[in-house]
C-alpha cells in the first residue's frame, strides 16, 4: 500500500491489527475533521459509522441522500420517463431494488442514473458537511458514501478509512441484511472500484471480521491516535446529522 505520508505506531485494538497512518492535517481551529468510510460492498461502513457517531461524529449517509434524490419530483419524473412506470409501487414510491437490477446489470444504464442523481447527492453532501461543522453536538464528521472515490466526492475529506471484511462474511451479511441474490451482489460489486484500489487511497484500515464491540474498539483506538477521542468517555451525542 502506498501512502504519501508517514505512518504512526499502530496501536493494539483488541484481537485485530489496526493499521493507522497519518492523522488529519490541521485546517484551522474551527474546522472539524472530515473522515470518510470506504470499502467493499457490505464491509460494514454504516456499522462503523455508528461506532463513530457514538463518539461524537456526525454521520452523513450517502445511500440515504441517494434515496432522497429519487424522491425529488424532477429526478423521479426523469427516472420514470426513462425506465418506465412499472417502477412505481402502489404507495407511489420507486421500487429501488428493481431499478438496481436494471442499472447494476448495465454500466450505460448506471451511468444514466448517476448523471441524474449525482449532482443532487454531491450538493446535499456539501450542505450536510457545512451543517455538521456548525453543530456544537459534533466534534468531527463521518461521510459514509460507498462510491465516494468513484464519484470524486473526496475533495473536502481530510482522511479516508477503509473498512475491510472477508468476502464470504460480507456476502453472508448482505444476504441477511438485504436479501440480495449472488447476481445482485456481483452486479453492485462490479460497479465499484476493486477493493485494493480503495484500500490504496486510505489512511487507516478497520478490520470488521469480529463482532461490533471489536469494531468499536478499533474505532476508539483510531480516534485516540488521531487526537479525536473525547477522553474515552463516549459521552457525546449519538444523533446523526439531520437532513
Ligand X SMILES: Nc1ncnc2c1ncn2[C@@H]1O[C@H](COP(=O)(O)OP(=O)(O)OP(=O)(O)O)[C@@H](O)[C@H]1O
Ligand Y SMILES: CC(C)(COP(=O)(O)OP(=O)(O)OC[C@H]1O[C@@H](n2cnc3c(N)ncnc32)[C@H](O)[C@@H]1O)[C@@H](O)C(=O)NCCC(=O)NCCS
Binding site as annotated, residues for ATP: 42-47
Q: Does 113 bind ligand Y (CB under 6 A)?
A: yes
DSSP 9-59: PPPEETTEE-EE-PPPPP--TTPPPEEEEE-STTSSHHHHHHHHHTTTEEE
Q: Which does 97 bind (CB under 5 to 8 A by kind): ligand X, ligand Y, none?
A: ligand Y
Q: Does 212 bind ligand X (CB under 6 A)?
A: yes
Cβ distance to ligand X smaller for residue 218 or 225: 218
Instruction: Spell out the residues 6+ positions from residue 10 whose beta carbon is closer than 8 angstroms to its own.
Output: 17, 18, 19, 20
Q: Which does 71 bind (CB under 5 to 8 A by kind): ligand Y, ligand X, none?
A: none
Q: In this chain, which of 46, 154, 171, 229 binds ligand X, going by CB under 6 A?
A: 46
Q: Which does 58 bind (CB under 5 to 8 A by kind): ligand Y, ligand X, none?
A: none
Cβ distance to ligand Y smaller for residue 10 or 151: 151
Q: Burial letters for 68-104: b for 16+ Cβ neighbours within 10 Å, e otherwise?
A: bbbeeeebbebbeeebeeebeeeeeebeeeebbebbb
Smallest gap from residue 40 Cβ to ligand Y (A):
8
Q: Does 96 bind ligand Y (CB under 6 A)?
A: yes
Q: Does 117 bind ligand Y (CB under 6 A)?
A: yes
Q: Does 38 bind ligand X (CB under 6 A)?
A: no
Q: Does 214 bind ligand Y (CB under 6 A)?
A: no
Q: Which stretch binds ligand X (CB under 6 A): 77-85, 106-114, 127-135, 204-212?
A: 204-212
Q: In this chain, which of 23, 24, 33, 44 binds ligand X, going by CB under 6 A?
A: 44
Smallest gap from residue 27 Cβ to ligand Y (A):
24
User: What backbone phi and psi angles, to 5 degrees, belong to 132?
Assistant: -65, -35
Instruction: Report d(CA 131, CA 124) in Å as an integer.
Output: 10
Q: Are strands 204-207 and 19-20 parallel, antiparallel or unpaired?
A: antiparallel
Q: Does 211 bind ligand X (CB under 6 A)?
A: yes
Q: What sections of the chain are H helices per DSSP?
A: 45-53, 62-71, 73-83, 96-103, 107-134, 148-151, 167-178, 182-190, 195-200, 212-225
Chain residues that interact with ligand X, rule: CB under 6 A: 39, 41-47, 63, 146, 173, 177, 208, 211-212, 215
Amino acid at each position: 500500500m502506498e501512502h504519501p505520508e508517514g505512518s504512526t505506531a499502530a496501536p493494539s485494538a483488541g484481537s485485530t491489527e489496526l493499521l493507522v497512518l497519518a492523522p488529519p492535517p490541521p485546517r484551522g481551529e474551527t474546522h472539524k475533521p472530515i473522515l470518510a468510510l470506504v470499502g467493499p460492498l457490505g464491509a460494514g461502513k454504516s456499522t462503523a459509522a455508528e461506532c463513530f457517531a457514538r463518539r461524537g461524529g456526525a454521520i452523513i449517509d450517502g445511500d440515504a441522500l441517494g434515496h432522497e434524490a429519487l424522491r425529488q419530483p424532477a429526478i423521479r419524473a426523469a427516472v420514470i420517463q426513462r425506465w418506465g412506470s412499472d417502477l412505481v409501487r402502489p404507495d407511489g414510491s420507486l421500487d429501488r431494488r428493481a431499478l438496481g437490477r436494471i442499472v447494476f446489470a448495465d454500466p450505460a444504464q448506471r451511468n444514466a442514473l448517476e448523471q441524474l442523481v449525482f449532482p443532487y447527492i454531491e450538493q446535499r453532501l456539501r450542505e450536510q458537511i457545512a451543517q455538521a461543522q456548525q453543530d456544537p453536538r459534533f466534534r468531527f464528521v463521518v461521510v459514509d458514501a460507498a462510491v465516494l472515490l468513484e464519484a470524486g466526492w473526496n475533495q473536502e475529506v481530510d482522511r479516508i478509512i477503509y473498512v475491510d471484511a472477508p468476502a464470504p462474511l460480507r456476502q453472508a451479511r448482505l444476504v441477511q441484511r438485504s436479501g440480495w441474490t449472488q447476481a445482485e451482489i456481483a452486479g453492485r460489486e462490479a460497479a465499484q472500484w476493486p477493493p485494493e484500489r480503495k484500500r490504496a487511497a486510505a489512511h487507516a484500515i478497520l478490520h470488521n471480521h469480529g463482532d461490533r464491540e471489536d469494531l468499536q474498539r478499533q474505532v476508539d483506538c483510531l480516534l485516540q491516535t488521531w487526537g479525536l477521542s473525547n477522553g474515552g468517555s463516549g459521552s457525546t451525542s449519538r444523533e446523526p446529522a439531520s437532513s
